[in-house]
Amino acid sequence: MVAMADIADYGENSRLGDEVYLGEPPAPPKEYYKAVVGIIESFCLDPAFSLLDVGCATGSFLATINGRWPRARMTGMDIHSDLLERAAASVAGADFITGSVLAADPALRDRFDVVTMMGVVSIFDDPTPAIANALSYTKPGGRVVIFTQTNDLPVDVLVRFALVEESERDKSWRTGLNVHSIATFERIREAVDPRAKSLWVDFVMPFPLDYKAPLRAWTTRVGDDPHAHINGLRMVPLMKIWVIERPS
């Protein structure tokens, strides 16, 4: 369990949908970033380790990494070049790649000590290519660190959602809140590399967040958890950090 005594907020991650990342001032580190940093610390890496952040948006996690490990070699990947322009302007010394994690890039194979993917796998109906490519981008012995919503029951959920006003206007339906079960993620890992080790860590919010808007997450009591994550779809997924270690 990762219990962060100083967790004050999910930060800007408490929104749902990618467009919120544009047009926003830089925010303080998001709370799950701190949990992921704590997990990377446990790997005892060389301080000049290499990291690829898949779905880096405007680079706020890379800025957090740079603050903690100034010598880390950082690369950000995102499918949206406008987000990467913002990232390049705000994170010095990082490389950026416009591209999709769903398309294998041979130039990235075996290159990184750590590949992070936060808030990304729930975008895809089938996260298999994203997980396979991310693992192939690690060095042998490297780790993929995924922050995602998941389900400890053996049920997968594919979601399309829309704000009512917007859907009346243009009927555009959003993605990004799929819930793949731990059982499915483990099947994917087994298919991608049966020798890869798997570690699941709970993301724990130690205090409540109030409801602000339907496209922001907040917290509610569920069973023993006083601060379970809930979203505007009235979904209460488990928030977990999944570490996959590539065999050496």
Residues that bind ligand SAM (CB under 6 A): 13, 18, 21, 30, 54-57, 60-61, 77-80, 83, 100-102, 118-120, 123, 176
Provide the minimum distance between the beta carbon of 56 and ligand SAM in the complex, in angstroms, as a whole number. 6
Q: Which is nearer to ligand SAM, 183 or 232 (CB)?
A: 232
- Could you tell me the smallest distance in angstroms from the CB atom of residue 204 to ligand SAM? 17
Nearer to ligand SAM, 2 or 183 (CB): 2
Of the candidates 28, 95, 38, 99, the residue with the CA atom closest to the CA atom of residue 69: 38
Q: Whole-number minimum distance, CB 167 to ligand SAM, in Å?
A: 20
Report the sign of the C-alpha dihedral through residues 204, 226, 152, 239, in that order. negative
User: CB of 194: closest distance to ligand SAM in angstroms?
Assistant: 25
